[in-house]
Amino acid sequence: MARRRKGLPINGVLLLDKPKGVSSNHALQRVRRLFQARKAGHTGTLDPMATGLLPVCLGEATKFSAHLLEADKVYRTRIKFGEVTTTGDAEGDVVERRSLPTTLDRDAVEAVLERFRGEIDQVPPMYSALKHQGRKLYELAREGETVARAPRRVTIYDMRPLGWEPDGVWLQVRCSKGTYIRTLAEDIGAALGLGAHITALERLETGPFDSERRLSLEALEAMSDEERLAQLLPVDVMLEHLPTLSVAETVAQRLLLGQRAELADSQLAPGTTARLYRDESFLGLVELTAQGEVTPRRLVDTTALNSGGA
């Protein structure tokens, strides 16, 4: 069978199982090369030491990746008490050690966990990709600099112990976007007076995606082109939380040209963002106006979708 032509438009979402010790960008580039995709992007960085679900958007799917950046996440992590590190995880240098009790007081830990459920203010770590005056914080941290960071409001929807160890606890955490699990662990350790950092971190869920269909890089590399293409989810899978709007060909053509179009009848309220379809084909995102019109917000390149790929 002839090989797929290099540079063919590939469109869809791949659920990657990112391995430990690999940066999110490095994993992304390996996926892009495997699919020979023109465009690729991921939907939320995982630290190199972290593993788990990393949705990778290819082709036209990259236009909608921001919707997953905004999504809630679920993590499994191991917190080790008694040591504080420079990075908040096991890859950093230990800067403080504290003696632990012979038996970890589970009731005390549970009481502290309860304090961190719900909305909390969290100061982002220095070892993060956030920027200060145009430079990433981790770059400044590596140079020995520390800058003031404003706390950010995040939400811990659920946090429960999965298992106990003499020096730590395994937790499952469901949280809002922008939550740093490393910082959460450090804050829990500080509240207990023990200090803490994480020694393992796995992302289990991102928005509508769980871990059932995630694939390793090794599994992808062992597949044929056709087998890999079959693993891609459709472009609109990231947007299933939004209502749908199906329109006739004439309306679709106006919208695809970037023009507003009148909508004779719609049950959607003004200001609603909706998924646009024509004959069950996804065309992008539109917004309903107070004037009974629909206006384009983010549309796919139908040429790219129709010329090949998923």
Active site residues: 47
For residues 125 and 118, give the distance between their C-alpha atoms in angstroms, rounded to a whole number.
20
Give the CB-side neighbour count of residue 221, counting CA atoms within 13 A: 7
Contacts of 22 (CB under 8 A, 6+ apart): 48
Q: Compute φ and ψ for 95, nearest 5 degrees.
A: -110, -10
Task: Report helix, strand or coil for 206.
Answer: strand
Contact between residue 185 and residue 90 where contact means Cβ atoms under 8 Å apart: no
Cα diameter, the chain: 74
For residues 113 and 133, give the distance between their C-alpha atoms in angstroms, rounded to a whole number.
35
Inter-helix orientation angle 181-192/106-115, to 10°: 130
